[in-house]
Structure 1
Amino acid sequence: MTNERGVTLTELLTALTLGLFTIGAVYGVHLNQVKKQIVQEDVLAMQQTARAAMDMMAREIRMAGYDPMGVNRDSALSNDFYGLRYHPTELHIRADLNGNGVPIDSKESIVYLYDDSTSTLRRKVGMGGRQPVAEHIESLTVSYRDALGH
């Protein structure tokens, strides 16, 4: 019996093969986790955008019909001031924000438009252009009651 020290070529190849399988498995798990993190970040970004859009809309809807001087309504309601109008694809908000008695200034008319072809919610202030507020929106539905409770 010889007292040779060291490893044989077969032992070395077996150890390298096992090491490569282990490294491959660890890399596969890591790659899977990275993909899941990217998906979660995308979902989070969509949720944050939706929350920001809903917050902006809620603040502006609360101001709908704001008429501090009371000049846009009369007792016979012949000059009724509608601060909120809704159509199937748009929501129109008006308010006399600067208190001058005329709710038609440039930033006192806000329209939210739902573009079905691009699944985008857009916002238009005054005579400005339509700016995207949120994307990947499947539908827009608004429920509210008018002055008569309808």
Structure 2
Amino acid sequence: MYLNKQKGLSLIELMIALVLGLFLVAGVIQIFLGTSQTYRLTGDIARVQENARFALDILARDIRMAGYSDPDKGEILPFFAVASADCPNSDDNNCSTNAVDANNSDILAIMFDPINDTDCIGNTSGIDEDDVIINLYYIDEEDGIASLYCRGWNRTDNSWVGAQQPLVDGIERMQILYGVTNTSGDAIQKYVNKDDVDDWTKVRAVRVGLLVSAGSPSGSVERKTRSYTVLDSGKIDITDNVNRYIYTTTIVINNSSSDYI
């Protein structure tokens, strides 16, 4: 008598193998998705940090030089343009520190005689050795991406040096506070916004606050409402899936006489 040997798999064994295979595939997919999400989030955070560093470096460089002029010329310049006579409203840009931009961010108009005869974009055309330049920093948007913009105003010739240019993407909000001294010394007594500066000659330092993203229209985090407060901005509510961080720094104006922050 001969026994029939089993050939192949039974239906039950095949179903069990398929189920186990599906579990393995699902696990691999889950690991892949988690790794991909982590990679995107890490990349976004790195870009946010890079954008913030570039923006703060650019602003700090000019703020330190505010009010500079060649000592041989004997001219004392204001640190910032706050009067329409220095930086009139034209070409849809109010070139004045007293203004706010379309994003309700502060505008920073830094005045000095540049050593290299260039504006904040690097333009040299039309800038002579003795010209006083006002670098206007503000936030604007293009294609849904907010950026730190700059444009140079030639106060000597009363003309724009060139067209506006974005410097750093992902800068969504900029708030400025000014460190002012009292009448008896140079020690900074308080930091106030532009509306509370009574005497601009008493400004000794500038505190900058930035709300920074990776500069992409979509992010890598859960979509929900997040709240931010940038210096004196008040509560800012934004609903999307974009990861943002707040960065602040304080810069002493080198051409002031203060040794204190």
What is the CA distance between 1:82 and its match in structure 2? Answer: 0.8
Corresponding position: 1:91 with 2:108: yes
TM-score (norm 2): 0.45
What is the CA distance between 1:88 and its match in structure 2? Answer: 4.1
Corresponding position: 1:130 with 2:164: yes
Alpha carbons of 1:35 and 1:149: their partners in 2 closer, same or farther (altered >3 Å)? closer
In structure 2, the residue matched to 1:44 is: 46
In structure 2, the residue matched to 1:77 is: none
**Counterpart contact for 2:68–2:77, Cα < 8 Å:** no
Alpha carbons of 1:116 and 1:141: their partners in 2 closer, same or farther (altered >3 Å)? farther
What is the CA distance between 1:27 and its match in structure 2? Answer: 0.6
C-alpha separation between the residues in 1 aligned to 2:171 and 2:65? Answer: 27
SS of 1:140's equivalent in the other structure is: strand
Corresponding position: 1:34 with 2:26: no
TM-score (norm 1): 0.72
What is the CA distance between 1:148 and its match in structure 2? Answer: 3.0
Aligned-pair RMSD on alpha carbons?
A: 3.1
**Counterpart contact for 2:109–2:137, Cα < 8 Å:** yes
**Counterpart contact for 2:148–2:167, Cα < 8 Å:** yes
Q: Which residues in structure 2 correspond to 1:3-82 (within 5 Å)?
A: 4=5, 7-73=9-75, 80-82=76-78
**Counterpart contact for 1:123–1:131, Cα < 8 Å:** yes
C-alpha separation between the residues in 1 aligned to 2:40 and 2:69? Answer: 47
Q: Which residues in structure 2 correspond to 1:100-119 (within 5 Å)?
A: 102-104=130-132, 108-115=133-140, 119=146
Structure with a larger share of its residues in helix = 1
C-alpha separation between the residues in 1 aligned to 2:47 and 2:167? Answer: 13
What is the CA distance between 1:91 and its match in structure 2? Answer: 1.0
**Counterpart contact for 1:67–1:101, Cα < 8 Å:** no
Structure with a larger share of its residues in strand = 2
139-148 vs 7-16, greater mean Cα deviation: 139-148
SS of 1:18's equivalent in the other structure is: helix
Amino acid across the alignment from 2:79: G
**Counterpart contact for 2:62–2:110, Cα < 8 Å:** yes
Aligned mate of 1:120, from 129, 147, 151: 147
Amino acid across the alignment from 2:173: E
Q: Deviations over 1:11-31 (max 9, x none)?
A: 132112211221112212211
Q: Deviations over 1:34-57 (max 9, x none)?
A: 123213312321221121011011
Instruction: List gaps (5 residues or longer) in structure 2.
Output: 82-96, 101-106, 117-127, 154-160, 181-199, 205-261
Amino acid across the alignment from 1:147: T
C-alpha separation between the residues in 1 aligned to 2:53 and 2:14? Answer: 58
